Amino acid sequence: MDDKIISHIVREMFLKAKSDCASSSKNGLSKYLGDLFDERKERVSKKTLSRVYEKYVEGKEGGMPIEQTVNIFCHYLGYENYVDFASKSNWVPEDDVEPPVKITPEEEGVIVSSPRGFNKLLMISLVCVVLALFFLGRYLNGKGTAHTSGGCMVWKEIAFEKVPCNISSENSIVSVVKLNEDRLRNFRKIEVNAVYPFFDEMGKSQVWYSKLGKRKVEFFSGPGIHPITGKTLKAVTPYIIEKYVPIHDISEKSLESLVK
């Protein structure tokens, strides 16, 4: 296996993990991926994930992961294995890209300009540079304004709320995190009852949970980590429903929908 391709696979895996969970630290991402692989019965220890992060993301010395581990990383990225990634992805190592061929003016048939023509070309080039710097400045200024006005989010009781990234979180028990539009729109803490649609038609879980102590359980509309405790959420199971969702906790509205 090519170590450069493995490096690219590892970087892509951690980038995808950053978008799937609220953490961006090495330990947080390694824990999230480790728990996810455990649920899939794909055994990769958190220690191994931390080591490949240090080697391929932080640039530290370390050994190459075994082929089975790399195949699990590729599976997470949507590929069958390392060979499938190498054949289907469009990524090419920089060292393998052929440098451009330099062609002299004589080979192109270009007539070398006179000093007067050169001055005219120089003026046009300066105008283009000034315009480019002007529009670049406007773009960066607008981007910075957007970032400070709402480029982050914070957890508010049952959902994430869009906030400026420069807001202080010192007096809050939750942290300001990078904006994730998908989690902002779809991730919620939900109230459930015995007739709640916990699974889709294929039997796949539609609800995730986290235990708070021995008796309290919180339910969420999507996977990831708990926005306050940082614990990885788990997919709900019939056992969890039977134990923590009482049958008598059915509202009249829920009964009406069940009859329909």
Same domain assignment for residues 192 and 255: yes
Question: Distance of CA 215 to CAs 99, 131, 207, 218, 236, Å?
Answer: 64, 64, 18, 10, 15
154, 175 in Cβ contact below 8 A?
A: yes
Domain membership of residue 113 (yes or no) is no
- Extract the runs of DSSP E, i.e. beta strands, from 52-164: 152-156, 159-163
- Number of structural domains (the chain) is 3
Domain membership of residue 125 (yes or no) is no
pLDDT given for residue 221 in this prediction: 94
pLDDT given for residue 234 in this prediction: 95
Domain membership of residue 112 (yes or no) is no
pLDDT given for residue 168 in this prediction: 62
Same domain assignment for residues 158 and 195: no
Same domain assignment for residues 14 and 80: yes
Same domain assignment for residues 228 and 150: no
Same domain assignment for residues 138 and 86: no
Query: What is the C-alpha to C-alpha distance for residues 91 and 82, in angstroms, rounded to an integer?
Result: 13
pTM listed for this prediction:
0.40
Domain membership of residue 162 (yes or no) is yes
pLDDT given for residue 93 in this prediction: 65
* Domain termination residue (choose one: 151, 179, 207): 179
Query: What is the C-alpha to C-alpha distance for residues 155 and 177, in angstroms, rounded to an integer?
Result: 9
Query: What is the C-alpha to C-alpha distance for residues 185 and 191, in angstroms, rounded to an integer?
Result: 17
Q: Which domain holds residue 166?
A: 133-179
Same domain assignment for residues 153 and 83: no
Same domain assignment for residues 42 and 80: yes
pLDDT given for residue 74 in this prediction: 87
Same domain assignment for residues 255 and 202: yes
Same domain assignment for residues 169 and 212: no
165, 152 in Cβ contact below 8 A?
A: yes
Domain membership of residue 158 (yes or no) is yes
pLDDT given for residue 209 in this prediction: 96
Same domain assignment for residues 13 and 89: yes
Residues with Cβ within 8 Å of 198's Cβ and at least 6 positions away in sequence, in order, are 192, 205, 206, 207, 236, 241
Same domain assignment for residues 155 and 217: no
Query: What is the C-alpha to C-alpha distance for residues 62 and 10, in angstroms, rounded to an integer?
Result: 14
Two tokens, residue 201: 């038609």
Domain membership of residue 103 (yes or no) is no
User: Strands of 208-212's sheet, edge to edge?
Assistant: 189-190, 216-220, 208-212, 234-235
Domain membership of residue 127 (yes or no) is no
Average pLDDT for consecutive 10-residue bins of the chain (260 residues)? 85 86 82 84 85 88 86 85 80 57 50 63 88 81 53 91 77 75 93 93 94 88 91 93 74 46
Same domain assignment for residues 85 and 137: no
Domain membership of residue 118 (yes or no) is no
